[in-house]
Amino acid sequence: MALCRGGELFTWGQNTHGQLGVGSQTMLTPELQLVERLKGIPLAQIAAGGAHSTTVSLSGAVYSWGKNSFGQLGLGDMKDRDCPTYVGALEHWKTVFVTCGADHTAILSKEGLVCTFGAGGSGQLGHNSTRNELLPRVVAELWGARVSHIDCGRQYTLVYVRSLDKFYFFGSGDEGQLKDERNPNQLIPLPITSPNLYLNGIATLEDKEVDVWISNSKPFRSIKRNIRLIFSSEACINGSFLDKRDKHFKTSREVSGVDMSEVKHFYGKISKNQIVYQEGNDEDTILSLILLAEAIMKLQPQGLQTLECLWSNLETSFFKKLVILYQRVSQKILLSVVQEIMMIGPSLFNLDPVKTGPLQILQMLYQVNSKTGFRVCERNFHVHEVGGIIDICSRFYTVTVLKRLSKYPCIFEREKKICVHTTECRVLLSKTMHPIVVAVAFPTGIVMLALSCKSR
């Protein structure tokens, strides 16, 4: 396995148990393959066992896949997995490091706690037994020791306690790891002497690095390379703005773990240097938001529900900013629609799905807003430019475009909704010789409109 600085995880090699995490159990894959399931997740570190793999994200989420005949995936069963699977038993554990042996796994939390699972035949789990564990279990002998580093060998585990400057060993000593050859297996942690360990991670932003960017103390070519590396990767972006108050260890459908105030602080900081921060024009912003809308609408239903849940938990100021951005994009789009209809006529006009993307996002945001008690005033969702389309459709006695736009009712003011109903009635009346009674719904009730047929 290889974790790139851009946050992508690639795997290759033997795959008899699905240990490559690519959704199949092909015997051998000689070429690098991207692990799609983990794309966008800011991974902190990866580990490979004999035939299983694990990784931990910067928000503390642990994923495992591959061979599971001893429970080394920590999922409570012995079934192999060919795709990264979230280890729910470690939720809120605040995991910062993971390591694998041949058939066992060890996890380190931010508080310095260690838990292990998988094969325990040589005592490598440290639970004073040789029993296998299908779920993560805390190593009780290390409770309170505040471990800072862990590592696994084939059938043993090594931990380091910085405050005591000591290493502890448990598991198989048949390769000379232990000086006492009479007792080859150590079932509980035993102090030993060993060299130091080292940890590293993916590219993320830090305040001191941003200070270097805006101070012009480094060549811009180098700064530009770092900016491109971090901001071309979803994982690096997510990892750069995690909540520093440990909130990111609670990342879930309800909690993104990202501190939006940090994002705001970052952009406020770099905007002081016009070389580093070059603000795009309106067209660039519109294109970016259209592409974002297109990507959002490609999400599976479960992904859309998660996104809506995260939106609902945004601070009101950030949620309102998102609404206003998509309101402005929708205004620009509908203005261009008006101009295009005037040029070719409504009967020839076809509303491109790309143009409706921002309207769909605005409607989604409106629904979230209504579920959270209308934190943002309804007028921030209205798009006044729709009035021009209503006028044209009324003149040409056509409602095709209006029917498409009626899927996004949040963009219509109350008066505009009445105009739409009136236009629909006029078009309908133009096709019949009999009076029609139309029910129009208003917030204050239903009004019956009796309309008689009139010639154009």
Q: Same domain for 188 and 226?
A: no
User: What are 242's strand-pairing partners?
Assistant: 258
Write the pLDDT tens digit of every residue in 160-209: 988 887 889 999 877 655 555 556 789 999 888 644 434 356 788 888 88
DSSP string, 231-269: HT-HHHHHHHTB-TTTGGGG-SSS---B-HHHHHHHHHH
Residues spanned by the domain of 373 = 295-429
Angle at 436 between CA 434 and CA 441, to 5 degrees: 170
Q: Of the segments 87-96, 170-179, 277-286, 435-444, which one has the largest average pLDDT value?
A: 87-96
pLDDT at res. 88: 95
The C-alpha atoms of residue 227 and residue 242 are separated, in whole angstroms, by 18
Which of these, 202, 293, 289, 300, lies nearest to 242 by C-alpha position?
202
Q: Using H for helix, E for strand and C for coil, what is the string for 292-306?
A: HHHHHHCCCHHHHHH
The single-letter DSSP state of residue 397 is: T
Q: Same domain for 14 and 162?
A: yes
Is residue 158 included in any domain, yes or no?
A: yes
Whether the CB-CB separation of 52 and 73 falls below 8 Å is answered with yes
Q: Same domain for 224 and 97?
A: no
pLDDT at res. 438: 47
What is the distance in angstroms between the CA of the first residue and the CA of the last residue of the chain?
A: 72
Which of these, 426, 434, 417, 351, lies nearest to 395 by C-alpha position?
426
Q: How confident is the model at residue 142 (pLDDT cuts 50, 70, 90)?
A: very high
User: Residue 169: which CATH number?
Assistant: 2.130.10.30
Q: Which of these ranges, 43-47, 51-55, 238-242, 308-312, has the smallest mean pLDDT?
A: 238-242
Is residue 379 included in any domain, yes or no?
A: yes
Q: Same domain for 417 and 340?
A: yes
Q: Same domain for 266 and 302?
A: no
Q: Same domain for 274 and 311?
A: no
Write the pLDDT tens digit of every residue in 220-253: 888 888 888 888 888 888 888 888 777 667 777 7
- Rounded to an integer, the average pLDDT of 114-123 is 96
Angle between helices 386-396 and 414-429 (to 10 degrees): 10
Q: Which of 230, 249, 279 is the last residue of a domain?
A: 279
Task: State the amino acid at position 409 in one-letter form.
Answer: P
- Rounded to an integer, the average pLDDT of 80-86 is 96
